[in-house]
């Protein structure tokens, strides 16, 4: 059943098909409305390789191409607040709705807008209507009010593994107890629930009732103390909610914090992950809970990095020497791994669109 998976992970033809059919819109999740909450705010989207920009014009969010319609120069950089977008090269001017308002020497001004379709789901800004429909029917996620969250920070990290292996490890709870000494004191893996459909998986983990009694790592102790300072010894409904929207979007919801993560392939053995951290607005920009959350997640990511790079190295060697072995999936804690592998098999067995 699993004997052809290594080719699906490392084959060049497979990577070509994925690039063509899965990554044209970078996953479709752009960010949250709160990243450009005020009139005039803009935010260039890093995981689009700066080719897309979110703007706020008169209180309304817009998705624009961040590429000049004249000679295709990059228009804006980073984030900020502005009245209009001026191309650095020949100074064409666009308003924040994306209309070209001035093109010196061209009479009349050509109609060359930057506008792209944008969909808003409870404060999450999306470029893909199908993703909005999926989120609307996804348990737990469908009731998240993303407007409650403020943007904290963005980070991009490169991994020496295939992007599908990252998703596989994200779906694997089997290693949490054995490999994450800090994280396992926050989540109770005996209380795991899976919700899944054709294009999503959500796993919910119980809240570990021993969380406040000496967590198993410095970073998670700091996180527990920060939460206790604000909420007392609150018993949360979930230790963690980990959602994945196929193929490459992940949403993690922990106590007062949320992370949006997006994977992009670089080659068959390299990928980058863009992660965006958000926190509940009331906490304020500088708060210890979010700082502690980021430190705790850095700990988990460095542990996962070890797993990913170790697995990927040996698997790739097997692939290159014509060997196949992928092993069985544990019924409960690796339920999502089996679903993920099935999704990848189905995708590659389907005809090219």
> Based on CB atoms, which residue is closest to ligand FES, 103 or 240?
103
Q: How far is CA 287 from CA 154, 257, 284, 311, in A?
A: 16, 11, 6, 36
Cis status, amide bond into 108, omega within 30 of 0: yes
> Based on CB atoms, which residue is closest to ligand FES, 71 or 342?
71
> Based on CB atoms, which residue is closest to ligand FES, 112 or 305?
112
Beta bridge partners, 127, equal none
Q: Which does 89 bind (CB under 5 to 8 A by kind): Fe ion, ligand FES, none?
A: ligand FES
Q: Supply the minimum distance, in Å, between the C-beta of residue 311 and ligand FES.
A: 45
Contact partners, residue 19, CB within 8 Å, separation at least 6: 265
Q: Supply the minimum distance, in Å, between the C-beta of residue 84 and ligand FES.
A: 13
Task: Report the distance separating Cα 267 and Cα 298, nearest Å.
Answer: 24
Q: Supply the minimum distance, in Å, between the C-beta of residue 41 and Fe ion.
A: 35
Beta bridge partners, 56, equal 61
Instruction: Mark 211-236 as b/e (b = at least 16 C-beta within 10 Å).
Output: bbeebebebbbbbbebbeeeeeeeeb
Q: Which residues ranging from 188 to 247 are in contact with ligand FES (CB under 6 A)?
A: none
Q: Is 87 in the site for ligand FES (CB under 6 A)?
A: yes
Q: Which does 293 bind (CB under 5 to 8 A by kind): ligand FES, Fe ion, none?
A: none
Task: Report the distance separating Cα 182 and Cα 340, nearest Å.
Answer: 26
> Based on CB atoms, which residue is closest to ligand FES, 70 or 195?
70
Q: Which does 342 bind (CB under 5 to 8 A by kind): Fe ion, ligand FES, none?
A: none
Q: Which does 71 bind (CB under 5 to 8 A by kind): Fe ion, ligand FES, none?
A: ligand FES
Contact call for residues 31 and 79 (beta carbons, < 8 A): no
Q: Which does 304 bind (CB under 5 to 8 A by kind): ligand FES, Fe ion, none?
A: Fe ion
Task: Report the distance separating Cα 313 and Cα 198, nearest Å.
Answer: 30
Q: Is 114 in the site for ligand FES (CB under 6 A)?
A: no
> Based on CB atoms, which residue is closest to ligand FES, 77 or 306?
77
Q: Supply the minimum distance, in Å, between the C-beta of residue 65 and ligand FES.
A: 12
Q: Is 89 in the site for ligand FES (CB under 6 A)?
A: yes
**Where on the chain is the footprint of Fe ion (CB under 5 A)?**
304
Residue 261: its H or E element: strand 257-267
Q: Which residues ranging from 22 to 81 are in contact with ligand FES (CB under 6 A)?
A: 68, 70-71, 73
Position of minimal CB gap to Fe ion: 304
Beta bridge partners, 240, equal 205
SS3 240: strand
Q: Supply the minimum distance, in Å, between the C-beta of residue 224 and Fe ion.
A: 19
Beta bridge partners, 280, equal 149
Q: Supply the minimum distance, in Å, between the C-beta of residue 54 and Fe ion.
A: 30
Beta bridge partners, 260, equal 251, 276
Give the total of residues touching ligand FES (CB under 6 A): 8
Q: Supply the minimum distance, in Å, between the C-beta of residue 39 and ligand FES.
A: 25
Contact call for residues 160 and 269 (beta carbons, < 8 A): yes
Query: In this structure, how many other beta carbons lie within 10 angstroms of the beta carbon of residue 195?
Result: 14
Task: Report the distance separating Cα 20 and Cα 350, nearest Å.
Answer: 14
> What is the distance, to the nearest Å, from the Cα of residue 60 to the centroid of all Cα atoms in its chain?
24
Which of 90, 130, 191, 209 binds ligand FES (CB under 6 A)? It is: 90
Which of 10, 26, 43, 92 binds ligand FES (CB under 6 A)? It is: 92
Stretch that binds ligand FES, among 83-91, 108-116, 186-194, 236-244 (CB under 6 A): 83-91
> Based on CB atoms, which residue is closest to Fe ion, 118 or 295?
295
Task: Report the distance separating Cα 267 and Cα 173, nearest Å.
Answer: 26
Contact call for residues 137 and 272 (beta carbons, < 8 A): no
> Which residues bind to ligand FES, rule: CB under 6 A?
68, 70-71, 73, 87, 89-90, 92
């Amino acid at each position: 059943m699993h004997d052809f998976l290594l080719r699906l992970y490392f084959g060049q033809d497979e990577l070509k098909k994925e690039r063509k059919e899965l990554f044209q819109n970078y996953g479709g999740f752009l960010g949250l409305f709160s990243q450009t909450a005020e009139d005039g705010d803009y935010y260039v989207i890093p995981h689009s390789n700066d080719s897309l920009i979110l703007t706020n014009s008169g209180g309304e969010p817009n998705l624009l191409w961040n590429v000049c319609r004249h000679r295709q120069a990059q228009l804006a950089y980073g984030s900020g607040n502005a009245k209009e977008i001026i191309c650095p090269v020949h100074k064409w001017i666009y308003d924040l709705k994306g209309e070209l308002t001035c093109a010196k020497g061209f009479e009349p001004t050509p109609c060359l807008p930057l506008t792209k379709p944008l969909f808003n789901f409870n404060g999450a800004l999306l470029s893909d209507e199908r993703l909005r429909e999926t989120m609307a029917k996804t348990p737990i996620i469908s009731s998240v009010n993303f407007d409650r969250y403020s943007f904290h920070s963005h980070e991009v990290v490169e991994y020496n593994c295939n992007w599908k292996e990252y998703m596989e490890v994200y779906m694997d709870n089997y290693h949490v107890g054995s490999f994450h000494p800090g994280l396992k004191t926050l989540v109770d893996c005996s209380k795991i629930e899976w919700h899944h459909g054709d294009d999503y998986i959500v796993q919910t983990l119980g809240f570990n009732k021993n969380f406040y009694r000496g967590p198993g790592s410095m970073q998670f102790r700091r996180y527990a103390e920060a939460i206790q300072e604000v909420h007392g010894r609150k018993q949360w409904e979930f230790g963690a909610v980990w959602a994945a929207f196929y193929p490459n979007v992940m949403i993690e919801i922990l106590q007062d914090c949320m992370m949006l993560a997006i994977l992009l392939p670089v080659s068959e053995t390299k990928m980058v992950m863009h992660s965006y951290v958000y926190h509940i607005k009331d906490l304020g920009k500088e708060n210890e809970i979010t700082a502690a959350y980021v430190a705790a997640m850095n700990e988990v990511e460095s542990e996962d990095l070890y797993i990913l790079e170790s697995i990927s190295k040996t698997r790739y060697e097997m692939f290159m020497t014509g060997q196949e072995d992928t092993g069985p999936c544990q019924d409960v804690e690796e339920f999502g791994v089996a679903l993920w592998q099935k999704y990848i098999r189905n995708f590659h067995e389907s005809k090219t669109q």
